[in-house]
Amino acid sequence: MSTSALLAPWHTLLKFHHDPLGMLLRYGQSPEPVVPIRLGRWTLNLVTGPAEVGQVLSRHVQYYHKGPGMDRENPLIGRGLLLSETPRWETSRRILKEEFLPTAVQAQRVPMRRIIENQLDQWHDGTVNVAEQLILLTAQVAIQTLFDFPTENAAMTSVIDASQDLMMFFYRRSRSFFRPQYGMPWPMNRKYWSAAKPLTGFAERIYARRAETSAKLPALLEQLPSDERLAQIVTLLIAGHETTANALSWTLYLLARHQEAQNLARTDPEWLEAVIKESLRLYPPVWLLSRVSLEPVTLGSYPLPKDAPILVSPWVNHRLERYWERPEAFLPQRWIGRPPLPPFLYFPFGGGQRSCIGETFAHQEMVITLSLILARWTLEFASRDDVLPLPLLSLKPKNGVWIRLASRSGALG
């Protein structure tokens, strides 16, 4: 084998780290439903066929575990819903699900709206990085709605900083060749512990206050094993705020760039729904799902061995020309009056057994937040440069989203 052939997979690994969104999309162009990608000494399998995606996501418990980058050994959230596996996961999901059922989320509508209004009362006319403001807003919504835990914005900011440091740690660790055990005195681990400690302290305070709150979730946590409760609080805080904040930031970005869609979304709830769907299509905050096979599996007609790393990407499936007309364009109207799509073409909240527990919660939060913002302000995009997606664990707008907010005459605010 020539030297360049030997180097090729390593070259691909560097390219993957440099531009994962572009590279996955290029691999996704292959008509094959499963595409092997050689990265260094690993072969990742990108699954793009909707039937095969369905096979992976719907048969998780039996055939798969969470894959590369999803670290079940993590002392802080390894036992939480996002990372744990059966049998622990099945019990916790059954118990916690109760507070995320549509009826339970709907019952939180009024308090959720009040929390959002309180946050928006602190926004002002002028040019604002909405991405930054929305992180605070969504963190407050998650903590106050789920746990009825009142926190000043200033205190919340330090929790948010710790949770962002933690996300960055997970992201770096997922890309690192060397993953030291958490107890090892390693520089990367020091960063981890300095983020994990304040989050654990915060979760402890939330749990300690459970008898004084009217929220149901803290009481549900009592039914879980004691070594898991704080993990679930931190998981819900982490999984429940940055994703929604990014989804809202991308939506405001798109609305600020498309005045006609902005006007329609302001007055027509069907349009607002279509805008949300289209925003989650173009910029799915969870852009990559990873799995590993527990035994040999056959996806469609494609055999994979045990321990095969598998990638499923909403980013890729939402942007393939074979599934979408003008996939790169923002066209909310494509959703209006449309019959339901075939399954696993569009899955911003994942699917199957490990689908997002917070989908209804996030949707309600997005509808309320966007309606209130659109009622108070007109939005105008305020950057010279376009906003690029930054694919960390969640798909962030690189350098934020700068928008000029102008009060609408006669509106509150």
Compute the distance between CA of residue 361 and CA of residue 217 in angstroms, rounded to an integer. Answer: 14
Looking at residue 22, its amino acid is G
Q: Which of 285, 332, 391, 400 binds ligand HEM (CB under 6 A)?
A: 285
Q: Which of 356, 368, 392, 395 binds ligand HEM (CB under 6 A)?
A: 356
Compute the distance between CA of residue 82 and CA of residue 89 in angstroms, rounded to an integer. Answer: 9
235 makes contact with ligand HEM (CB under 6 A)? yes
Residue number with CB closer to ligand HEM (189 or 358): 358
The residues in 244-283 that bind ligand HEM, with binding defined as CB under 6 A, are: 244, 247
Compute the distance between CA of residue 271 and CA of residue 336 in angstroms, rounded to an integer. Answer: 8
> Which range touches ligand HEM (CB under 6 A), out of 148-156, 217-225, 299-307, 352-360?
352-360
156 makes contact with ligand HEM (CB under 6 A)? no
Q: Which of 159, 272, 286, 311 binds ligand HEM (CB under 6 A)?
A: 286
396 makes contact with ligand HEM (CB under 6 A)? no
Distance of closest approach, residue 351 Cβ to ligand HEM, in angstroms: 8
Distance of closest approach, residue 2 Cβ to ligand HEM, in angstroms: 38
Residue number with CB closer to ligand HEM (144 or 189): 144
240 makes contact with ligand HEM (CB under 6 A)? yes
Compute the distance between CA of residue 134 and CA of residue 136 in angstroms, rounded to an integer. Answer: 5
The site string for ligand HEM over 68-87 (x = CB under 6 A, - otherwise) reads -------------xx-----
- CB within 8 A of 119, min separation 6: which ones? 133, 136, 137, 140, 141
Write the DSSP string, 256-286: HH-HHHHHHHHH-HHHHHHHHHHHHHHS-SS
Annotated binding residue 120: no
- Count of CB atoms situated within 10 Å of the CB of 277: 18
Compute the distance between CA of residue 91 and CA of residue 225 in angstroms, rounded to an integer. Answer: 10
> Which range touches ligand HEM (CB under 6 A), out of 103-111, 150-158, 318-326, 354-362?
354-362
- CB within 8 A of 353, min separation 6: which ones? 57, 58, 59, 60, 61
Residue at shortest CB range from ligand HEM: 358
| Owner of token pair 């993590």 | 74
| Owner of token pair 């729904």 | 273
Biggest CA–CA distance in the chain, Å, is 73
Instruction: Give the annotated binding-site residues for heme.
Output: 356
Using CB under 6 A as the criterion, which residues of the chain lie in contact with ligand HEM when the complex forms? 81-82, 93, 142, 235-236, 239-240, 243-244, 247, 285-286, 289, 348-350, 354-358, 361-362
